[in-house]
Chain A
Amino acid sequence: MKTRVYVTLKNGVLDPQGKAIHHALEGLGFAGVNDVRAGKLIELDLEPGVPDEQVEEMCRKLLANTVIENFRIERAEAAA
């Protein structure tokens, strides 16, 4: 079962990569970009029945560094 984990920098944490991407977009002439934040998408293929709490534990223990990062878990709906 596909589960997606989105890891993003916490608000207020400076994101040098996002800044560089922002500058590059401006350099390409794209107007109207107020800010850019870069994050990670991690896709997990899980056995059915792995509980949400276990995925959260994976995030806290390894996938995200909760000192600087937030995570959001998106689980695919079970196939009908």
Chain B
Amino acid sequence: MRSAVIVFPGSNCDRDMAEALRLVTGRAPDMVWHRESALPDRVDLVAIPGGFSYGDYLRSGAMAAQSPVMRAVREAAERGVPVLGVCNGFQVLTEAHLLPGALMRNAGISFVCRDVPLRVENSQSIFTSRYEAGEEIVIPVAHHDGNYQADAETLDRLEGEGRIVFRYTGECNGSARDIAGIVNEAGNVLGMMPHPERAVEDAHGRTDGRRLFEGLMEAVSQPA
């Protein structure tokens, strides 16, 4: 499986993401700088990592969403290439309108950095096929702007179409309907605030994130 990790100035989880992908897929991803206008040929997965791209100037993810590489990411997403945005990556995907809604300042103002329990709401996605529907997993979060908001109509549509993939089981950041992760209409773009790449090996203390990458690898290795 050939993956690419997008790197913006201010990304800080790019190497964690690369290491998780290398560990699970057996192949180190290509690191793609934000100024690039193309992705590697025949890329199977694009990962947009966490961090503070462009210092969170204007709004988290707003500047990154306008960077040259995001045009290539958008084209890949439209072709059906899986795109995984974690934390700042989720913010970038909403700002780029590849996912609906917006991530606002946490309702409690404070930066939240801890392990959080999540419920896997949809195990049919290419990202969650290795999980059971309704299963509870624990994945760390570390964010200041993770408070997912969208209008009621959008939220109803996300619910109705099974696009809320992960939900917090308790209060985390004020997100509407406890949303922790959503997919786009086609199901190939996932944005989530928790960091699965920080829970892939025993040394992390938890490995609940590992199955996300394993499921993806399985999904992309199957002929379409």
Q: Which residues of A contact B (CB under 8 A)?
A: 13-14, 16-17, 19-20, 61-63, 65, 67-68
Within 8 Å of chain A (Cβ to Cβ): is B108? yes
Complex A-B: 6 CB contacts under 8 Å: A14-B107, A14-B149, A17-B105, A62-B66, A67-B101, A67-B151
The residue that B174 contacts in the complex, of A16, A17, A20, with Cβ under 8 A, is A16
A68 & B149 in contact (Cβ 8 Å cutoff): yes
A16 & B58 in contact (Cβ 8 Å cutoff): no
Chain B interface main SS type: loop
Q: Which residues of B contact A (CB under 8 A)?
A: 58-59, 62, 66, 94-95, 100-102, 104-109, 147, 149-151, 174
A17 to B105, CA, bound (A): 8
The residue that A14 contacts in the complex, of B58, B66, B101, B174, with Cβ under 8 A, is B174
The residue that A62 contacts in the complex, of B62, B102, B174, with Cβ under 8 A, is B62
A67 & B150 in contact (Cβ 8 Å cutoff): yes
B149 & A62 in contact (Cβ 8 Å cutoff): no
A14-B104, A16-B174, A65-B95 known; 20 new pairs, CB 8 Å cut-off, are A13-B104, A14-B107, A14-B147, A16-B104, A16-B106, A16-B107, A16-B108, A16-B147, A17-B105, A20-B109, A62-B58, A62-B66, A63-B58, A65-B59, A67-B101, A67-B102, A67-B149, A67-B150, A68-B102, A68-B149
A68 to B100, CA, bound (A): 11
Whole-angstrom distance from the CB of B35 to the nearest CB of chain A?
A: 18
Enumerate chain A residues within 8 angstroms of B62, measured Cβ to Cβ.
62, 65
A18 to B107, CA, bound (A): 11
A16 & B105 in contact (Cβ 8 Å cutoff): yes
The 7 closest A-B pairs by CB, nearest first: A67-B102, A68-B102, A16-B105, A16-B109, A20-B109, A16-B107, A65-B102
A63 to B63, CA, bound (A): 10
A13 to B147, CA, bound (A): 11
* Interface-centre pick from A62, A65, A68 (highest chain B CB count, 10 A): A65
Enumerate chain B residues within 8 angstroms of A68, measured Cβ to Cβ.
102, 104, 149
Whole-angstrom distance from the CB of B63 to the nearest CB of chain A?
A: 8
Whole-angstrom distance from the CB of A53 to the nearest CB of chain B?
A: 20
Which residue of chain B has its CB nearest to the CB of A19? B109
A61 to B66, CA, bound (A): 9
Whole-angstrom distance from the CB of A6 to the nearest CB of chain B?
A: 14
A62 to B62, CA, bound (A): 7
A67 to B101, CA, bound (A): 6
Whole-angstrom distance from the CB of B59 to the nearest CB of chain A?
A: 6
Whole-angstrom distance from the CB of A7 to the nearest CB of chain B?
A: 9
Enumerate chain B residues within 8 angstroms of A63, measured Cβ to Cβ.
58
